Structure 1
Amino acid sequence: MHENSPALGQFYILRFDFRSGGRGHGVEVENDEDIPPPVGLSTPPGSGGLASLRVTPRLRYDPRLGDMPKDLQSGVADYWLVSEPLKQLFQSADPDGFVFVECDFHLEDGTQAPPHYFCEVTRVIDAIDLACSEVKVLTEGYPNGKYYSVSGGARLAFDASVVGTAHVFMTPYTADVFCDRVLRDALIASGFGVGGATRGVRLIDAARI
């Protein structure tokens, strides 16, 4: 077996868990027009992302629109919205892998909501060993020249020498966030991504998507 062949239990996709259903979140971004888009595959190099944010995001919860956000919530101005406990775990596990911006978050009656933060993974490394992976490679019209699509299933292998000591990262050719076993175990131990009460965190073994 090649040393970089897909191996269960080493790397995981870290996503918001859509499976819980329900009404979705009821968070409105009052100054959405001032929030730059996240850094991503469609963002021009050197632009976008929380590093370029010049205002404090103003959020308001409206119960008519949906539920209070989970500890990890996606779809809020295209960023992850994370709770204080999850922010602290992320920072403790990999302080150089994330950037956070505290939001001015109020409930419907105007009182201050518990602390919440926009969160973005800032580490981007070309860590997928394509020769040892089973994944569909798309090449038409992508800004970085190609895109690794995990839709429909994939088996990803990672180059440990490129990953190094990183516990969380993105890649230039995928839209997902990846984490290693260290961060995955820390999340599980703290009650995130567990059973029927995932708190918004979903962990998918990257060796068997």
Structure 2
Amino acid sequence: MSNQKAISGAKRPRARKRRFYQIGPDFSGGRPGFWVEDESILPPYRVDRLPASTPHVPYVFDKKVGSLPRDLEVCYHWWLISDRTKAVFERLDPEAFVFVPCDVRMPHGIYDGPKYWLCDVVRVLDALDESQSRLRIGIRNDVRYIDHGRKYYELSLGDKLVFREAAIGNAHIFRMAYHDAGIICDQEFKDACKSAGLKRIWYIDVLKL
């Protein structure tokens, strides 16, 4: 009898909370040897998200100028990603992204490397638990900003972000509402990228910015 009471009174282990990371390109590696050949192809600066209807983006790769792109690089406020990166992203969370193919050429010879894509994280979630987080929250009063008159988040070293998992649901990657540059992924997304051997990507634990 006493054993039954002990078993029934035992506490159940708490479900582990998902871990989240800020994700982005690793800027180490020296001077880049790649650039957009015709910038007029790209959407105007004030277009927040990359339209799927964007024409093929012409890129020049020249290793004499600098290092060639790896799996994830910055392209203005989007990403330039390799074909294998696209495969991982699409497998994990296809609805989170827009991909636009790049036409790559080299100044000398013919490019025969992997395909590259312009990529944008188009899912935006208002999922931050502001009461549990540590960051600056304000109203943008500078007319030079697109979000003039609206709430914004400003992140600094030492800040902490706590997210409401119910607002994230099954999503593995998203942009933060009120902080467009903040792209967040979960542990599963990070692990999949690591397992695939994707290079040139950094992750920062959002609890220890």
Q: TM-score, normalised by structure 2?
A: 0.81
Aligned residue number for residue 87 of structure 1: 86
Q: Is the 8 A contact 2:52 2:99 kept in 1?
A: no
Unpaired runs of 5+ residues, structure 1, are 1-6, 193-198
2:106 maps to a residue whose letter is L
RMSD: 2.1
Does residue 165 of the first structure (1) align with residue 170 of the second (2)? Answer: yes
Specify the code of the residue in structure 2 equivalent to 1:106.
Answer: R
Structure with the bigger RCO (C-alpha within 8 Å, sep 6+) is 1
The one-letter amino acid paired with 1:180 is D
1:96 aligns with 2:105: no
Structure richer in strand, relative to its length: 2
- Could you tell me which amino acid in structure 2 is paired with residue 12 of structure 1? Y
Displacement, 1:63?
2.8
Q: Which moved more, 1:104-113 or 1:77-86?
A: 104-113
- Give runs of aligned pairs for residues 40-59 of structure 1, distance below 5 A: 43=46, 47-51=47-51, 53-59=53-59
Mean Cα deviation higher: 29-38 or 175-184? 29-38
- Give the AA of the match of 1:22: G
Give the unaligned 5+ runs of structure 2: 1-15
1:35 aligns with 2:42: yes
Moved more, 89-98 or 107-116: 107-116
Aligned to 2:30: 22
The 5-angstrom pairing of residues 1-209 of structure 1 reads 10-18=19-27, 20-23=28-31, 25-37=32-44, 43=46, 47-51=47-51, 53-74=53-74, 76-112=75-111, 113-141=113-141, 143=147, 145-174=150-179, 175-192=181-198, 199-209=199-209
Instruction: Read off the aligned partner of 2:67 and give its amino acid letter.
Output: D
Q: Where in structure 1 do 4 or more consecutive aligned residues deviate above 4 Å?
A: none
Cα shift at 1:34: 2.0
Distance in 2 between the 1:69 and 1:208 partners?
A: 29
